[in-house]
Amino acid sequence: MTADLVTLAQVEVNTLGSLLFATIGELQRDAQPSSLAGEPIIHKQPEGKPPYDAAARAKGFAEEIMGCVQRLETCVRQLPTPPDEAAQMQRIRELQAQSEQLSQQLQQEQAVAEVKLRQAQEAFGVLAAAALAQGPWQQQQQQQQQQPAAPGGAGGHDGAAA
């Protein structure tokens, strides 16, 4: 639930930033120039172009921004309060102890696995040496001797002419 609230808060912060940049950009682009200290305005609004109502548009932007800020504040209020520093430090110590215990357990399992791997490698080495010592022609003879003879000579040559 907390992750969802954090995500919603991030979305609202991003929306707020976008609204602020859009507001400033639109006002810079479309608002009529104004004099700050009574100096003359050099670039006036072109004739025939409808005047931009900056005050009305600023009010609309303010409403959009305030709605976004209110949604953001709602998300922030719903976030759980973090525990005090002592509780956080206690949780960190518990997690470190758990991590150490799991690390030792993994090391033990790794040692057992390494022993089993060495045993399997040794067994494979013995089997491979025996197979190489016999040679391929001896293996074929042993396989033929181990195969049961087919009853009645079916499927094989029994030495009789057909």
What is the distance between the alpha carbons of residues 19 and 66, in angstroms, rounded to a whole number? 10
Share of the chain above pLDDT 90, in %: 43
For the CA atoms of 148, 150, 153, 158, the dihedral, rounded to the nearest 10 degrees, stands at -20
**62 to 59, 153, 162: CA distances (angstroms):** 5, 100, 105
Predicted confidence (pLDDT) per residue in 50-94, tens digit: 777 888 888 999 999 999 999 999 988 998 888 899 999 999 999
Predicted confidence (pLDDT) per residue in 106-135, tens digit: 999 999 999 999 999 999 999 988 888 887
Q: What pTM did the predictor assign?
A: 0.46
What is the distance between the alpha carbons of residues 50 and 124, in angstroms, rounded to a whole number? 90
